[in-house]
Structure 1
């Protein structure tokens, strides 16, 4: 099962296919026969091959894992149709996804899949609505939440327990304690007095 509460999925900032959960990300080629290294985000890394064809964040590309073995923290795998190092290297950075509805439901209220957060209302602990969660990006040491305030540009916030201390899936919201100034631009309305010419 995918790790529902991972805050350490590394990789380029890419938007997940709608309604899908990230299971792993392909890294560098391994050897000369088309094998690749895969960073798995599943509880059992070797379970990656059990999901059948995997959707990717590269348009039009699906991937099916062949043989696989575990080497320390990485899965070393063959990809069906990939037979040489050049083809394997071309897959570096590709994210591997499955539809959310193909995964088992979580048993604990504190567990969730990242796809479950899309559409939640983001608000402060004081009850102020900040916007709606529209995407989750896997970038650097922490995941990033994209929050869209009403009538304003999207805002990116770190998806850490410090910044997002509370998630209430059943109630349809999460609480954000944003770093100072994160939502300031979203609060500026067109025609704000600060934008007016003081001489007018």
Structure 2
């Protein structure tokens, strides 16, 4: 099994908020098993002309944070985005979605993505209504969100986006509850489920326990998103 993850390491996008990110915001990332990068740029400049970045009251209900604007790029209004997925390893949503939502503090904006492409470990994009370097630099620090419904479809039934695994209950094959997925970690070879569960310390005070289970087929037996449950081959005392 493989999963799409927010960022390599425990100090990734879920654990460490990016500029302008709300605490607890859902985030998106790359494949743990790295496929070939999809490098085809999206270009919708010939589509409906939308040359305004407009203020909106709220984001879509399925909006997922995918990165943040780090700087302007060039002189023609392009922006540089640091994705929560390495640009070469799966920032596909940034390359395919035509509508982005930008947030910074209490600001909420909607922008048409006219063109986007991989640039080294980042993604650069041209947004409708952002026509020069000054306009691009004014967007620096904005967090980029994309609707979950606009994420590229996964080809393999055993591949999952991290954002879809977070919050699922985990139990072993004997039916013993092991906790709930809090986030995931990428160790370079595969993803690891970080599971939290209620416990007590030596003084009998309530604490949050943690289990780390590799997200690989030998341990993970079923992932049932509809039932919000993952079944694993793992003893409760591991």
Band of TM-score, shorter chain: 0.5 to 0.7
Count of equivalent residues: 171
* Structure 1, unpaired ranges of 5+: 182-200
- Asked if structure 1 preserves the Cα contact closer than 8 Å seen for 2:197 and 2:210, the reply is no
- Asked if structure 2 preserves the Cα contact closer than 8 Å seen for 1:56 and 1:97, the reply is no
Matches within 5 A, 1:101-116: 101-103=149-151, 106-116=154-164
SS at 1:169's partner residue? strand
Matches within 5 A, 1:42-121: 48-55=94-101, 60-82=108-130, 83=132, 84=134, 85-91=136-142, 94-99=143-148, 101-103=149-151, 106-121=154-169
SS at 1:48's partner residue? helix
Partner of residue 26 from structure 2, selected from 16, 24, 27: 16
Report which of the two has the higher share of strand.
2
Q: What is the TM-score with the length of structure 1 in the denominator?
A: 0.55
Report which of the two has the higher share of helix.
1
Q: Deviations over 1:1-50 (max 9, x none)?
A: xxx7234625543421864455x413521345543222454877576354
Partner of residue 78 from structure 2, selected from 35, 55, 74: 35
Determine the C-alpha separation between the residues in 2 that align with 1:56 and 1:137: 25
